Amino acid sequence: MGLLTLGTPLSWNETVPYVDYIKEHGIAQFIALYHRLKGREGDQLKWGDEIEYTIVKFDDDAKRVGALN
């Protein structure tokens, strides 16, 4: 992902058709990046290095949300 210099960002509703693609490819990219960089030591995270996707579990009965293990 980079700086958006042309066009406009999609609205939330416009992104819905792409959710499965984003999940599948985002996870694949993260795994590939992890395997490529897992041996590096002493680096600090920079902007864009953080994981921006969190999978959560909804417990409707208890009205709680938590990170999925």
**Which of 51, 5, 60, 7 has the alpha carbon at shortest distance from 26?**
51
For position 67, what pLDDT does the model report?
Answer: 77
Q: Residue 62 has what pLDDT?
A: 92
Compute how many other C-beta atoms are within 10 angstroms of the C-beta atom of residue 26. Answer: 13
pLDDT at 17: 92
- Domain map (residue ranges) of the chain: 9-39
The half-sphere exposure of 13 on its side-chain side, counting CA atoms within 13 A, is 0
The pLDDT averaged over each successive group of 10 residues in the chain (69 residues) is: 76 89 85 84 67 75 83
Q: What is the pLDDT, as a whole number, of residue 37?
A: 82
Q: With beta carbons less than 8 A apart as the criterion, state whether 57 and 66 touch.
A: yes
What is the reported pTM?
A: 0.44
